[in-house]
């Protein structure tokens, strides 16, 4: 089974106070306030943990991703995610390129939307947060539970 490696791609989005009016404003992690980058890292870790858990939806999703054509031990599958979080720290919406089958789409939504994060977003943080979840081959000792857990790299 592949292991998940998450990496922070960018902090992107709309100002929460201007969600209905403005055009999107993009900001690179290098230009973002330190609190935003730290929060994006927290979100990254929470999502990685959810996807690597033992929930049946997480297991099905990982199994599906393992079967994607062209995903070889030398290759890497990338799953870009855009994540919206409300003022209470709950993931309210995710956006991603849909899979060919409906089940993994539903599993990814079920695993993440409604998930409460350990902290609320910093004030005026631009949303959505853009993350890149990378899938790499599992290590040789893939039978151990630790090998099936996702690992985060930034």
For the chain, domain boundaries = 3-152
- Global pTM exceeds 0.85: no
53 exposure class (CB count in 10 Å sphere: 0-12, 13-18, 19+):
middle
- Judge if the upstream peptide bond of residue 57 is cis by omega within 30 degrees of 0: no
- Both tokens of residue 38? 């730290």
Q: How far apart are CA 48 and CA 89, in angstroms?
A: 16
**Torsion sign, CA atoms 61, 66, 68, 71:** positive
**Selected residue with higher pLDDT from 6 and 15:** 6
Please, how many CA atoms are within 13 Å of residue 13, restricted to the half-sphere of its CB? 30
**Selected residue with higher pLDDT from 17 and 98:** 98
- Chain segment 94-136, per-residue pLDDT in tens: 999 998 899 999 999 999 999 999 999 999 999 999 998 765 5
- Chain segment 52-96, per-residue pLDDT in tens: 889 999 999 888 887 776 555 555 667 899 999 999 999 999 999
Residues with Cβ < 8 Å from 135, sequence gap 6 or more?
2, 3, 4, 5, 65, 71, 76, 77, 78, 79
């Amino acid at each position: 089974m592949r292991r998940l490696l998450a990496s922070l791609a960018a902090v992107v989005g709309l100002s929460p106070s201007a969600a209905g009016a403005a055009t999107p404003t993009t900001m690179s992690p290098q230009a973002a306030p330190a609190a935003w980058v730290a929060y994006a890292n927290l979100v990254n870790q929470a999502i990685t943990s959810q996807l690597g858990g033992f929930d049946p939806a997480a297991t099905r999703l990982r199994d599906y991703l393992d079967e994607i054509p062209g995903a070889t031990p030398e290759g890497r599958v990338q799953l870009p995610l855009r994540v919206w979080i409300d003022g209470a720290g709950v993931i309210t919406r995710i956006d991603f390129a849909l899979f060919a089958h409906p089940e993994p789409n539903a599993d990814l939504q079920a695993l993440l939307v409604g998930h409460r994060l350990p902290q609320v977003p910093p004030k005026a943080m631009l949303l959505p947060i853009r993350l890149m979840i990378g899938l790499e081959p599992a290590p040789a000792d893939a039978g151990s539970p630790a090998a099936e857990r996702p690992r985060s790299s930034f």
